[in-house]
Copies of this chain bind each other. A is one copy, B any other.
Amino acid sequence: MPLTTIGFDADDTLWHSENHFMLTTERFCELLGPWCDASHQERIESELIEIERRNLKLLGYGAKAFTLSMVETAIEVSDGQIPASAIKEILMWGHDLLKHPVQLLDGVADTLEVLADSFRLLLITKGDLLHQESKIAQSGIAQKFSGIEILSNKTPGSYLRVLDQHSVQSAEFLMVGNSVRSDVLPVLEIGARAVHVPYHLTWALEEDDSDDVAVAEFQTLSDIAELPKLISSLDL
């Protein structure tokens, strides 16, 4: 069945995102320095990731969940010694993350322009509904997509629901994204194609599940600009 529809992840596939979170995490580790003992300092980042992991099912993805997990980590790591002024600073970092202007990745606008001539494009992202809508509206590329789907999580079932809503069969769909766990493996599982375009940073909770990756076969591009060439070389 010929390819008709291409899905794109948004954060770290179309625009920068993880770099803002990483920068905030660095600031967070510095902020906590004086409020925890030396043995704890190296563990701040891993404590934050553990608390994010614990909260994921309840708080989901996105900047609000991250901010709540930072506050919780700050209290835990400082053994309740962190002052309110430092917590206020963390809250404002959360606001900054939500307000940060959208910066498209290199090559995105041109690649979408080329592909939109021959394929139906869908934007399929997960995270905070309001924040994702605001970034899409700001991005200047919303009109390239015939459908925009914001999911709470990316699973084989949620991809199938999206394809069903747009009357697309798995065999005619290809997904493009930076996360093997979210954008590649569940898509391969439903019998569709996927292309991995890594971002230079990966959030620990998006890291590959190596057993699954070992058995999965998919193509990886270092630059989204190579996508039209790869697609035209596929046996469609």
A59: chain B residues at CB < 8 Å are 64, 98, 130
A64 x B75 contact (CB < 8 A) = no
Which A residues lie at the B interface, using CB under 8 A?
58-60, 64-65, 67-68, 71-72, 74-75, 78, 80-85, 87-88, 91, 94-95, 98-99, 128-131, 133, 150-153, 165
| Contact partner, A99, options B58, B87, B91, Cβ 8 Å | B58
| Contact partner, A84, options B60, B87, B98, Cβ 8 Å | B87
A94: chain B residues at CB < 8 Å are 68
A71 x B91 contact (CB < 8 A) = yes
Using A78-B84, A152-B129 as known contacts, say yes or no to A64 and B71 having CB atoms under 8 A apart. no
A87: chain B residues at CB < 8 Å are 71, 75, 84, 87
Within the complex, what minimum Cβ distance (angstroms) separates A206 from chain B? 17
Within the complex, what minimum Cβ distance (angstroms) separates A170 from chain B? 21
A68 x B75 contact (CB < 8 A) = no
